[in-house]
Amino acid sequence: MFLLLPFDSLIVNLLGISLTVLFTLLLVFIIVPAIFGVSFGIRKLYMKTLLKIFAWATLRMERGAKEKNHQLYKPYTNGIIAKDPTSLEEEIKEIRRSGSSKALDNTPEFELSDIFYFCRKGMETIMDDEVTKRFSAEELESWNLLSRTNYNFQYISLRLTVLWGLGVLIRYCFLLPLRIALAFTGISLLVVGTTVVGYLPNGRFKEFMSKHVHLMCYRICVRALTAIITYHDRENRPRNGGICVANHTSPIDVIILASDGYYAMVGQVHGGLMGVIQRAMVKACPHVWFERSEVKDRHLVAKRLTEHVQDKSKLPILIFPEGTCINNTSVMMFKKGSFEIGATVYPVAIKYDPQFGDAFWNSSKYGMVTYLLRMMTSWAIVCSVWYLPPMTREADEDAVQFANRVKSAIARQGGLVDLLCLPGHLDSAHLWVGMTCY
């Protein structure tokens, strides 16, 4: 018979007590509030504390930069880095001064090496246009102790570096395991809960259970990101038989909206874990999933969506008509598909606060797993959501004009730049309607 030594027994008991306390805290402060949709204000207190720390770190960084004569770049209000404009002549003189010991007065007006400077400037102008900027992370005016999110970050002082290191330990050793546990709990409950609800007979009770299972699980997933969301004008929330359209910054936009409303999702059928979740969800709620072979057929997509919105008993469809993620500074061209159906459109504006973590998903740079890891190791996800009054297509409007009018309203409310063009790199399904799920 295997016997535990007194010291080993003590460790096992302490571990058991720790796990029990942790589970109890999760249950009391996170899972139960998520079920009833209430908050104890802990996240807001956490956010206020972080703001004070960020303000101190920024002041310390600016003071250190002044002492060392380092230039600090300030972003525009839309989050794009603003560099002091200089003339071509001044820049060429600066390059010659740094690369030659000759007096500037003796140098000719043009040298053969200047060709390389003009080539570089031309390439920068092409690559750094107004549209391309929207596919890179926005720059912060203040430092949030995440070195990946500030252009000005560099070694300033030992005290600031120690604070940054302490933040790394907190985010990776405490917040990350906690958030992974919450995400696993939320996804597991979503799969199990919707599967069980799917076996109930159709009726009001099934609709009631499905709605609250979805809301509970999405709220738990929101807490897995330490998301602090402020919803405005809730009386304008989307209603059955309509289409909810929103600007698109991140895949978590779906969770942000679904934790405050009950929607039918639109997307392509996937395999793996996503496929398991989709199959479970559709048993409890009439989501609109398309097979890979169907998703490029515009007429079929239009028919399925039209049939859904014509049934006023069905949930509002959630669509992101941009069809791709934009970096939280702008709204790009809306695809016209969802505006041709003839349903009432409920615009929603989403604006993230990048001080606590950058929610933008640069899909060309990060895979989904890497992106989620970055989200779960950020301080928090803070955003505001505005529900705008419902809009309908006017008699003298075509679908494109209607889409532009809705887009302008969203940009205005969210304080975003209203841009018209978008590089054509999406497949035909996304180009026509935009999708909800990935």
Whether 64 is covered by a domain: the verdict is no
Please give the residue range of the domain that contains residue 273: 158-418
Record the tokens describing residue 199, joined without a space. Answer: 């076996």
pLDDT in tens, 246-272: 999 988 999 999 999 899 888 887 777
Give the burial class of 338: count Cβ atoms within 10 A of its Cβ; 0-12 exposed, 13-18 middle, 19 or more buried: buried
Whether 99 is covered by a domain: the verdict is no
pLDDT of residue 77: 45
Whether 264 is covered by a domain: the verdict is yes
Length of the chain: 438
Contact present, 133 and 83 (Cβ < 8 Å): no
SS3 229: strand
Contact present, 190 and 277 (Cβ < 8 Å): yes
Helix then strand then coil, in percent of the chain rounded to 5, is: 50, 10, 40
Domain count, the chain: 1
Whether 104 is covered by a domain: the verdict is no
pLDDT of residue 111: 64
pLDDT of residue 94: 59
Q: Which regions of 312-429 does DSSP assign to beta strands (E)?
A: 317-319, 330-331, 345-353, 381-387, 417-418
Place of tokens 């535990």: 4
Record the tokens describing residue 146, joined without a space. Answer: 């995440």
Say if strands 381-387 and 264-268 run parallel, antiparallel, or are unpaired.
unpaired
Put simply, whether the predicted model's pTM sits higher than 0.85 gets the answer: no
Backbone angles phi, psi at 5, to 5 degrees: -70, 155
Q: How far apart are CA 216 and CA 210, in angstroms?
A: 10
pLDDT of residue 82: 42
Which stretches of the chain drop beneath a pLDDT of 50?
Answer: 1, 75-85, 101-104, 131, 134-135, 148, 151, 422-432, 437-438
Tell me the residue type at 392: T
Give the burial class of 75: count Cβ atoms within 10 A of its Cβ; 0-12 exposed, 13-18 middle, 19 or more buried: middle
Whether 60 is covered by a domain: the verdict is no
SS3 220: helix
pLDDT of residue 299: 79
Whether 270 is covered by a domain: the verdict is yes
- Let me know the angle formed at the C-alpha of 327 by 322 and 328, rounded to the nearest 5 degrees: 90
pLDDT in tens, 144-188: 666 545 545 555 567 777 888 888 898 898 889 889 988 998 899
pLDDT of residue 286: 83
- Shortest CA distance to 83 belongs to which of 8, 133, 24, 26? 133
Q: What is the dihedral sign for C-alpha 190, 192, 198, 201?
A: negative
pLDDT of residue 108: 56
Question: Longest C-alpha distance within the chain, in Å?
Answer: 93
Whether 188 is covered by a domain: the verdict is yes
DSSP result, 84-133: ----HHHHHHHHHHHH--S-GGGS-S--TTHHHHHHHHHHHHHHT-TTGG
Whether 359 is covered by a domain: the verdict is yes
